[in-house]
Amino acid sequence: MGEKICAIDCGTEREVSIDCPSDCSYLVAAHRWEQGHPKPLVESEIPFPDVSFPADLIHTHQTALSGLGYTVLIYALDQRSLSDSDVFFAVQAMAETRRTLLSGIYYEKPPEVPVAAGLYAALAKFIEEEKKHTAEHPELPALKDTEVFQLLVFFLRFGRLRSNGRPRTRAFIEFLRSQFPSEVGVSKEEPRIILP
């Protein structure tokens, strides 16, 4: 916020009404504590509860799964306002699109929020490029539409587990950032703390 705030405001409004910088030491400590004390998702909050995965899905398509995370990070570099909830809206909408495609109908409804809609488009582009890449290389396992849908659902569920559910949190995005080396172009967020 560029100013001092009291501990109560920090604790209650963090990532709710206050857009905290990712390098804030209090935010980092709070995220560390939350990851050490994870809350399971309530059954009603599990995305696509009827979907199950083959045991080898993640191992077989780990490159595509990593690509989803990397696509989010590359998009987040240009869109500093991107929050976990925006990521979840985009991934949920893309999974819904893929589910209807499996039934033989092409129907898509991108998110209405512009930043989430932009990520939706970036994910769509990545998926099409990944499918084309696996089709051109027979040594790689082909990426079927069913598997794309399942990977999106897995990514969405995993993201929800890594996030804390606050409206402005970037805990999942920060987790993704920690998974990719900085030399591949995914840099840390610029500090937003103003020191006197």
Give per-residue pLDDT as tens, 108-125.
899 999 999 999 999 999
Q: How far is CA 57 from CA 11, 46, 137, 151, 158, in A?
A: 39, 19, 19, 8, 14
Phi, psi of 14 (to 5 degrees): -55, 120
Q: How far is CA 94 from CA 45, 123, 130, in A?
A: 18, 8, 15
Please give the structure tokens belonging to residue 8.
């109560």
Name the CA radius of gyration of the chain, rounded.
18
Predicted local confidence at residue 2, as pLDDT: 62
State the pTM of this model. 0.81
Predicted local confidence at residue 90, as pLDDT: 97
Please give the structure tokens belonging to residue 26.
């209090």
Predicted local confidence at residue 187, as pLDDT: 52
Whether the CB-CB separation of 67 and 20 falls below 8 Å is answered with no
- State the maximum Cα–Cα separation within the chain, in Å, rounded to a whole number: 60
Predicted local confidence at residue 94, as pLDDT: 96
Side-chain-side CA neighbours of residue 127 (13 Å): 20
Whether the CB-CB separation of 180 and 74 falls below 8 Å is answered with no
Please give the structure tokens belonging to residue 50.
């009827």
Please give the structure tokens belonging to residue 71.
């696509």
The C-alpha angle 3, 6, 8, rounded to 5 degrees, equals: 140
Write the CB contacts of 185 (distance below 8 Å, at least 6 apart in sequence): 74, 77
- Mean pLDDT by 10-residue block, N- to C-terminus, for the chain (196 residues)? 73 73 76 76 82 90 93 93 94 95 88 95 95 88 91 94 83 90 56 53
Residue with tokens 């995965």: 53
Predicted local confidence at residue 105, as pLDDT: 85
Buried b (16+ CB within 10 A) or exposed e, 84-102: bbbbbbbbbbbbbbbbebe
Write the CB contacts of 42 (distance below 8 Å, at least 6 apart in sequence): none
